[in-house]
Structure 1
Amino acid sequence: MPVSTKERILNASVRLFNEHGVDAVRLQQIAEEIGISVGNLAYHFKTKDAIVESVYEQVLDEFAHIFRQYLQAPELAAFDQQISLYYQFFQNYQFYLAEFFKTNPEQTRQQLQWQRAVNKMLIQLRSWLDFHVQRTMLRPEDSPEQYDQLAQSLWMTLVFLPAFAAMRGQTTTELSYKQAVWEHLRPYFTTEGIAEFETLVLPMLA
């Protein structure tokens, strides 16, 4: 199916935002990236703010899609697939973290939307841990708030690992990303959890 001009504009904008940051990109650059005139671009998006708004909508839609995967199948193997989706998401939208941490007198609407999304992600991770305690895949907490801390560790790894690796001059592959997430969980597996992990997940990491 042919990609529409509007989609090409959004895809080019994401590439340029990742490379230069949102503030540094101009409409002329976006138009040149896909070989159209600024006038043609303005037919689809009258301003850069309109492009940014549409990109953010796309980002949040994809993030919501990842959440829905958990609701469909929360088992260990399905979580491994969800980790892959998070990896692709944060690779595709590297600029988004930088935008979130920009210093502004007041948070923008997009920053607030992103804040709600990542808080929802943390709640979902905590719920996932509780579910697998009930399934006897994970052992019960040894102390109050132990799994709150584990959920936060998982969240930080999923969100920040690629950026952290880049700061150290390293690259993150999908495999190393997934392994890092699972290493947080392995110490908490029960005998049943180890068996399910080794049978259903480990072959996908080999």
Structure 2
Amino acid sequence: MHNTKEKIVLASIKLFNEHGVASVRLQQIADETGISVGNLAYHFRNKEAIVSSVYEKLFDEFRQLLSTYLLTPSFADFDGQMAGYFEFFKTYRFYITDLFSAEHPLPDIQAEWEMFMNKMILQIKNRIDFHVSRGELLPESSQGTYYLISESIWMTLVFWIPQQTLRRKPVTEGRYRTAVWNHLKPYFTQKGLDTFELISPVLSQN
């Protein structure tokens, strides 16, 4: 069973997803948690403290997700991390407005977001280089091509869910992963195609 502080954090995430971080008031969080504002203040002195705790949870999960990088050297490993990204960005949907705030009320959070996003792109580029070295992706046709593709994959991982939601399109894990793989398919070698065939049936089931 969740303790009260955990319930407050989970209620806050739900409300942030529905209304945005800036719009949610302490009274709403208290009501969603089923406690009084006074009880809420006992656990968190202000909204900023709640936001910090939400981000502590968010960044801890993101850190764990990044740590799954190359657990096994395979396309399946990359596909598994994609599935993790899907669950993460679906769970913390409020990130899309908070991530790009011109002046974030908590600058440390904005700085950490930037660090995580840069690490994502670096991991993607390293994955591509690794699969080129294994003969599963074609060598780079011109310098910088795979870095640009890494950025495009990053944009898909981060922005696919909100843009699909905005356009009232289905948001499923299979479609998400397919959208990412489509960036790399034109660069598969025959060996890469044969390897990808082993995981493509799984995509069609989601």
TM-score, length-scaled by structure 1: 0.94
Give the aligned partner of residue 3 of structure 2. Answer: 4
Equivalent AA in structure 1 for residue 153 of structure 2? L
Using the TM superposition, give the Cα deviation of residue 37 of structure 1 relative to its aligned residue in structure 2, in angstroms: 1.3
Task: Determine which structure has the larger helix proportion and give its number.
Answer: 1
RMSD, aligned CA? 1.5
Percent identical residues: 48
Distance across 1 between alignment mates of 2:73 and 2:35: 45
Take 2:78 and 2:132, find their aligned partners in 1: how far apart are those partners?
Answer: 15
Letter of the 1:52 partner, please give it: V
Q: Are residues 135 and 166 of structure 1, via their aligned partners in 2, closer, same or farther at CA, if it must alter by over 3 Å?
A: same
Q: Deviations over 1:163-184 (max 9, x none)?
A: 1222323232111101111111
Deviations 1:65-107 (A, max 9, x none): 1111114224111111111110111111111120122232898
Distance 1:51 1:204 in 2: 39
- Equivalenced residues, count: 204
Provide the C-alpha distance between the structure 2 equivalents of 1:138 and 1:71, rounded to a whole number of angstroms: 16
Q: Do the aligned partners of 2:70 and 2:77 also contact (CA within 8 Å) in 1?
A: no
- Unaligned 5+ runs, structure 2: none
Q: Letter of the 1:30 partner, please give it.
A: I
The whole-number CA distance in structure 2 between the counterparts of 1:77 and 1:128 is 12
The answer as to whether partners of 1:161 and 1:177 remain within 8 angstroms in 2 is yes
User: How do residues 122-133 of structure 1 correspond to structure 2 at under 5 angstroms?
Assistant: 122-133=121-132
Corresponding residue number in structure 2 for 1:205: 203
In the alignment, is the contact (CA less than 8 A) between 1:162 and 1:171 conserved in 2? Answer: no
Distance of 1:105 and 1:43 partners within structure 2: 26
Q: Distance in 2 between matches of 1:149 and 1:105?
A: 28
Q: Which residue of 2 aligns with 1:178?
A: 177
- 3-state SS in 1 of match to 2:182: helix
Over residues 178-197 of structure 1, what are the superposed CA-to-partner deviations in whole Å (9 max), with x where a residue is unaligned?
Answer: 11111111111111111111
Output the amino acid matched with 2:202: M
Q: Judging changes above 3 Å, is the alpha-carbon distance between structure 1 residues 122 and 105 closer, same or farther for their aligned structure 2 residues?
A: closer
**Shift >3 Å, 4+ stretches:** none
- Whole-angstrom CA distance in 1 between matches of 2:9 and 2:143: 46
- State the alpha-carbon separation in 2 of the partners of residues 87 and 19 from structure 1: 18
The aligned runs of 1:52-201 (5 Å cut-off) are: 52-104=51-103, 108-199=107-198, 201=199
- State the match for 1:15 in structure 2: 14
1:140 positional shift: 0.7
Alpha-carbon contact 2:153-2:183 (below 8 Å) kept: yes
1:30-45 equivalences under 5 Å are 30-45=29-44
Q: Distance in 2 between matches of 1:64 and 1:189?
A: 29
User: By how many angstroms is 1:203 displaced?
Assistant: 2.1
Say if 1:58 and 1:31 are closer, same or farther in 2 by CA, change over 3 A: same
Stretch deviating more after TM superposition (55-64 or 99-108): 99-108
For the residues of structure 1 that align with 2:103 and 2:130, how far apart are their CA atoms?
Answer: 39
Letter of the 1:34 partner, please give it. T
